[in-house]
Structure 1
Amino acid sequence: MKTIFGITLCFVFCLASCNSVQAENWMRFRGPTGQGISTEKELPVTWSPTENIKWKTGLPGKGWSSPIVFEDHIFITASTEEGVSCQVICINRKDGSIAWQTEVHRQKPGPMRKQNSYATPTPVTDGKHIYSVFYDGTVIAVDFDGNIVWKNSEVKFFSLHGLGASPILANGQVIMPFDGSSREDTQIGWKVPWEKAVILSLDAEDGSVRWKGERGKSRVGHVTPILVDNDSQLISAGGDRVQGFDPNSGKRIWSIYSQGEGVTPSPVFGEGLVYTSSGFEAPTLRAIRLGGKGDVTESHIAWEQKSGVAALASLLYIKPYLYSISRDNILHCLDASSGDIVWRERLTGTYSASPVYADGRIYFLSAEGETLVLRPGAKYDEIARNDLGDTCYASMAVSQGNFYIRSAQSLFCIGK
């Protein structure tokens, strides 16, 4: 009897262990690595407003921050009162009920790009606190009950286009880039470098300033940084710069000039190369080799490509290919080692949300609410098109066997 009980207990333990390994938290913009890659399995391929929808929850306020997931908690941000009231919202992952909604800040709304919002930066969590950033540059930490832990307004941010980058965590720090467009009193922005562009590091426990990484004069950018090379480098792009920083000190290691403006796509990393997009003014995809110091514009660019340059949605790297959606909504697949275009396909709709790779498939969410599902590879291989029928600018999250998609009005949990 003891043997049978022991075998049963072992089986239950192993089953629980397998489930815990499979379940993945999505704690920041674009998931665990910041590159849109999920290890989740058994995810749905098709859905509609009536198929594979586990729950749908109406959302208060407005905002285009993407959902993040930690265990049974989903967090988003929003604004009400025409952008004045800044909210952090916690949603129960199991049933979609709103656990709490806290006003964490009140700000003065200003000019903003039509597709942006006063609550666009995606929050990030370490499982203890949720860190959020709003339009005016204020960074706020709250605990899992919605209580404000600290608030920092070190950077008085202004941009004619609003704020689009998101914070990340690194070694007990909250790191946030601020690439603005001059001062509010001058109303100068587009094509004018801002001498106060900065990457701000705050202590995650108390909100004190750890360091400020100086960008140098840089133009408008909305790029969320990533950590690469075993987290030894922070890669951050401004309007006309791509730079590598020491994440512990903020010291700039290398920099390249990347003529552009309004850069939005986040970089990705693979096989020793950083892949970036330069935005709207002089659209160029670049692959940058690591290992350089100082200005490496002439020495460490592995390749450049003028076609198929990502405009809004971030790049996606799935070895050996790089995927990019250009301004005219053409999806390009490139050879990541050379930059050569493998294939291109014109898409219906427009794309702002960044793509996700999960369970062997790529998911592209359009602004019109349709998700295009593809198999990665050397040819265009479409599997499904799934339409939710609502506007979607936020990027999807993948966790606990489900997709979480934020629309203009609702949050959807999509799963089998």
Structure 2
Amino acid sequence: MVKRWQVLCCVFSIYVILSTGPLRAGDWPAFRGPLGNGISQETKVPLKWDAKENILWKAPLPASGNSSPIVSNGNVFVTCAENEGRKRSLYCFDRTSGKQLWVRTVNYDKAMQTHKTNNYCGSTPAADGKRVVVWHSSAGLYCYDFAGKELWHRNLGEFEHIWGYGASPVLHAGKIFLHCGPGKRVFMTALDLESGKTLWETDEPVAGDGQFNEQRKYMGSWSTPVIAKVNGRELIICSMSLRVNAYDPASGKIIWNCAGLHGKKGDLAYTSPVLANEICVAMGGFNGPAIGFRMQGSGEITGSQRLWQKEPNPQRISTGIFTKGHLFMANAGPNLFQCLNPATGEIVWQERSGGAACWGSMVLANEHLYVTDQNGTTHVFKPSTAGLEKVAENPLKERSNSTPAFSDGQVFIRTFQHLYCIGQ
């Protein structure tokens, strides 16, 4: 059983929280789960499966995508995009049977830039057991009830980047927190969940044109924020393209920031911050720097609180897991699994995964780490500091860039072709 300190990172320092309202015990209501940190409290989930074994159902999807499924109050939600992003849809499936219950499509006539590996549905929805929120980037933010009725929608602006979009909304205490970008304008915002009213917006300075910095190197952040309580104070923590910011949830004021994500190839962040007791670890993208710092002080804390900065690194799109005092990562290139010391950034061990690169983020469930690679194989291993202890390799033989959802003893995986429900 997952120990309490693994879930809440206890004692005097920090714990991750995510309160979205009337959650059911087995819900996985947002990207990286109910706590936003990739940690599941499930204790009876399958270790092994393949395209035939332990598949309870699979439902066809109309197009590939990088968003992940969520599970809330008997429903599974996932996004899809078609017609070069002119149709952006939210699908709802019955979690027991896999039957499609409804689909709601937003039409967006303007063709927007993106990369062929990120086709207009990189953002994972979020739900609270009664309402589901989905961000379609330039096509808007939408809120539906569980019958598919639109409750409200908002146009938050146009976000154009050569690599598309990917940050996901986070629900907490009746609010939606959303990292809006990348593009010419980047900001963190809070909206009222019931009405969609904007509560605050905090702009992030953008150098260059939002796609290239002043040195004509790539720039942008696709990081989904995490909500934490640090020394008794709630904060929204997010990796931007140059720095990590901590926002006051009530006002949007930046409480502190730590710089260090500017890299030789550009200013990029794909992963969410990982909170390791009193330390925050943030990863730059495109072989850029990784940093670790103490979450203390106010204002610019780089000089006083940053513990380490290391560059270059493997390409990191998948967000890792902090457990047993260490950070476990699955990288996009080379296809390495790693164990890191968050206090120093030192590599404790690294080994090749034996599979493809990983874009989906890691999940901890029943004292095992799960991550799905781009070939649709989910690797299961123990969080050992002695080396890679692989338990299983579970192939679905369909490509995937998504993070599994764990709910009531079942695993939900989105591939480019299907939504799978896996269980014993």
Q: TM-score, length-normalised on structure 2?
A: 0.86
- Aligned partner of 2:334 among 310, 319, 328: 328
Q: CA deviation at 1:154?
A: 2.4
Counterpart residue identity of residue 296, structure 2: G
Q: Which amino acid aligns with 1:359?
A: N
From 56, 59, 74, give the equivalent of 1:57: 59
CA gap of 1:61–1:349, structure 2 versus 1, over 3 A, is: closer
SS of corresponding position for 1:363 = strand
Partners in 1 of 2:416 and 2:32 — Cα distance? 19
Which residue in 1 is equivalent to 2:229?
Answer: 229
Q: Which residue of 1 aligns with 2:405?
A: 397
Structure 2 distance, partners of 1:62, 1:302, is: 40
Structure 2 vs 1, CA of residues 87 and 65 (structure 1 numbering), >3 Å: closer, same or farther?
same
Percent of aligned pairs with the same residue?
31
| Corresponding residue of 2:302 | 297
Q: 1:113 is aligned with what amino acid?
A: H
- CA displacement 1:340-362 (0-9 Å, x = unmatched): 21110012211100011101100
- 1:108, 1:136 within 8 Å by CA — same for their partners in 2? no
The equivalences for 1:53-202 within 5 A come to 53-136=55-138, 138-182=140-184, 196-202=185-191
Q: Within the alignment, does 1:383 sit opposite 2:394 as a pair? A: no
**Backbone CA RMSD of aligned residues:** 1.8
1:216 aligns with 2:223: no
Q: Distance in 1 between matches of 2:313 and 2:362?
A: 15
Which segment drifts farther, 78-87 or 402-411?
A: 78-87
Task: Give 1:259's aligned residue.
Answer: 262
For residue 320 of structure 1, what is the amino acid of its counterpart?
G
**Residue 108 of structure 1: how far off its partner (Å):** 2.2
Q: 1:32 aligns with which of 28, 31, 34?
A: 34
Q: Comparing 303-312 with 127-136, which one deviates more in the overlay?
A: 303-312
Are 1:306 and 2:336 an aligned pair?
no
Q: Deviations over 1:271-300 (max 9, x none)?
A: 11111102226x222222112211111111
Cα deviation, 1:348-402, whole Å, max 9, x if unaligned, reads: 2111000111011001110101111101111211111110000001111000111
Say whether residues 1:316 and 2:321 are aligned partners. Answer: yes
SS in 1 for 2:220: coil
One-letter code aligned to 1:235: I
Residue 364 of structure 1 corresponds to: 371
Distance 2:379 2:140 in 1: 35
Label 1:104 to 1:128 Cα distance change in 2 as closer, same or farther (>3 A): farther
| Worse-superposed segment, 237-246 or 320-329 | 320-329
CA–CA distance in structure 1, aligned partners of residues 315 and 85 of structure 2: 29
Match of 1:343 among 346, 349, 371: 349
CA contact (8 A) 2:42 2:406 kept: yes
Distance in 2 (alpha carbons) for counterparts of 1:54 and 1:317: 30
**Does structure 2 retain, via aligned residues, the 8 Å contact 1:310–1:325?**
no
CA distance in 2, matches of 1:284, 1:154: 31
Preserved CA contact (<8 Å) 2:315 2:334: no
Residue segments in structure 1 that go unaligned for 5+ positions in a row: 1-20, 183-195
Per-residue deviation, residues 136-187 of structure 1 (Å, max 9, x unmatched):
15111111111111111122222121111111012211111123233xxxxx
Report the Cα distance in structure 1 between the residues aligned to 2:243 and 2:45, rounded to whole angstroms: 38
CA distance in 2, matches of 1:113, 1:263: 16
For the pair 1:287 / 2:295, whether they are aligned, the reply is: no
Kindly provide the CA deviation profile for residues 200-247 of structure 1, in whole angstroms up to 9, marking residues without a partner as x: 211111111110022222641100000112670000111112111001
Q: C-alpha separation between the residues in 2 aligned to 1:27 and 1:169?
A: 9
Say yes or no: does 1:415 pair with 2:423: yes
Q: Given the superposition, is the C-alpha separation of residues 310 and 324 from structure 1 closer, same or farther in structure 2, using an over 3 Å criterion?
A: farther
Q: Classify the secondary structure of the residue corresponding to 1:298.
A: helix
Partner of 1:193: none
Gaps of 5+ in 2: 1-22, 208-218
C-alpha spacing 1:302/1:164, structure 2 compared with 1 (3 Å): same
| AA matched with 2:30 | R
TM-superposed CA distance for 1:323, in Å, is 1.3
**1:272 has 2:291 as partner:** no
Paired residues of 2:328 and 2:383 also in contact (CA < 8 A): no
Range moving further from structure 2, 318-327 or 271-280: 318-327
Q: Which residue identity lines up with residue 349 of structure 2 in the other structure?
A: W
CA contact (8 A) 1:88 1:146 kept: no
Which shifted more, 303-312 or 260-269? 303-312
Contact 1:310 1:324 in 2 (8 A): no
- The one-character-per-residue Cα deviations of 1:24-81 (angstroms, maximum 9, x if unpaired) are 2100000011111000011111101111111111113443211000131001111223
CA contact (8 A) 2:137 2:158 kept: no
Give the distance between the partners of 2:419 and 2:150, measured in 1 at CA: 24
**Which letter does structure 2 place at the counterpart of 1:147?**
K
Query: Which amino acid in structure 1 is aligned with residue 134 of structure 2?
Result: S
Distance apart, 1:107 and its partner CA: 4.6
Q: How many residues align?
A: 382
Q: How big is the shift at 1:303?
A: 2.6
